[in-house]
Amino acid sequence: MIKKNVNVIAARLKKGFTQTMLREKLKEEFSIGMSPNKIVAIEKGDFSNLKHNEMAAIGKILDASVEELFFND
């Protein structure tokens, strides 16, 4: 069973970002295009298709480590 990734959600909300704002920052700052569905999937806990560089970019944007966001229960 996939568990909701509250760490990504909490970090995004703490920064005051919407999902759209996060996607735009990924594109602007890291040239990473990500669909709205992929952001939703990440926040639902499905990051099996997420590459390490994408995890790292999300971490930098949200001021959190990859471990904090994706591997910390």
- Mean pLDDT over 47-72 rounds to 93
Helices (H), 1-73: 6-14, 19-30, 36-43, 52-61, 66-70
Domains and CATH numbers, the chain: 6-70 (1.10.260)
Cα–Cα distance, 15 to 1 (Å, whole number): 28
Q: Number of C-alpha atoms within 13 angstroms, CB side, residue 49?
A: 8
Site of tokens 């639902």: 44
Q: For 34-58, how does the pLDDT look when each residue is reduced to its tens digit (9 = 90+)? A: 999 999 999 998 988 899 999 999 9
| pLDDT of amino acid 3 | 65
At 22, which amino acid appears? L
Cα–Cα distance, 28 to 69 (Å, whole number): 21
At 23, which amino acid appears? R
| pLDDT of amino acid 36 | 96
